[in-house]
Structure 1
Amino acid sequence: MIEFEAVEKYFGDRHILKSITGSVSKGQVVVVCGPSGSGKSTLIRTVNRLESIDGGHIRVDGRDIHTVRNINELRSGIGFVFQSFGLFPHMSALDNVMIGLRRVRKLGLDEARQIAMERLAGLGLADKADSMPAQLSGGQQQRVAIARAVSMRPAVMLFDEPTSALDPELVSEVLAAIEQLADEGMTIICVTHEMGFARRVADRIWYLEAGRLLHNLDTEDFFKLRQAMRLEAASS
């Protein structure tokens, strides 16, 4: 579903992504982790062209994304959930979910409302449909953002540290929402430091350091390696 082939990215003289190569199969959940500044967020932002690349290729469902002329068409098939929710503050939760359905998908009001309500209800937010973002907790706002992205029926969902702006007690509700999407067979790339979540949900884990993909392992093997590295560090 997603292929990275020798992807390079620079910010000025800084080499951010260094020959990243890897693939994500349909229905697979890949967690991307690594230290701050390793290029994790930049990597997933290249998938829907929020960041350009300076070398290599990225393909989504077989299409090189840089040959797609209509960027809105590309992004409508790739859901993206940001750290900071990204809701429109002057719109209700329902209207936030409906906006893409109306403006991008060109659906009628009734159909858009029905889809939006179904998605909000599926994430436990049916009773918050008329609430404004300022009236919602951080966890509720992030779940509205997830509902908005998923309502577009994307082939792929990208999450950029979706719990990093949340108080600790709100983290679990957002991770549960992502876990629900994984159970439904959604193809997901999630940048996160929540290793318990990664262990439960991820099929593979990519570990980035200094712009390089150092490890691309199935989840069980990654945690075996992590444990071995901890034991080695403790004994040295």
Structure 2
Amino acid sequence: MTTPSSTGTAPARFLLLGDSHAGPIARAATAAGLPFAGGPVGSGRDFNVGFFDIRHDDLVFRDAAVQERHRGFLAELGVAGIGQLTVPLVSTFGLSAHFFATTENWRIYRSTDGTFAPGFLAGGLFDGIVRAMARDALAFYRHVLDRGLRVLAVLPPQRVPGMSDPQVFAAAQETIRRALVALGVEIVDLRARTTDGTGRQRAAFCEPDDPIHGNLAFGRLIVADLLARGL
């Protein structure tokens, strides 16, 4: 299935830049006839560390294909650089928490019984490790905020694949959420509407036969939230 990267001929309401979790947002916006530019440009693992540079005060993605798509989106919006945007930026970069939560990465921090020390997942060491894992995602948000953009980040579906630890997923997501809030990013958080009593994504909002992604219904809730925020 292909994911739309823009829709409509009316002026775009926002620029969407993200990983695969941006796909349901793009599909839902297209289905609703909501004009936007952008879409998913790669895998979540590619947008945490070392994925962009700043040249002449402009943001340049290191991956040539991503940069080409990024420049195309900006051309649709009639601007030469991301700092010239006059519409909000919606992004999912840095929020694929299941990569941070890969079980093997945290083995050395567990006790012999397989548990973490009390308070570890809420402590400074864990917080610092996760922020280091996502350091350039956070730098991306800082850069665009410093240019005066309105920036919204969308929390991912609450789905944890088998390779990842659910406790670490939740704690890492909270670390990134807090970091983004401190920077001034608006957080689109639909957990109260899309999760069950265990905090996991309800089946009605999951992509079938897929361990991590949300479906079109999830994307529609995100789009409705964006509209409610005035986008």
TM-score, normalised with respect to structure 1: 0.33
**Higher relative contact order (CA closer than 8 Å, sequence separation 6+):** 1
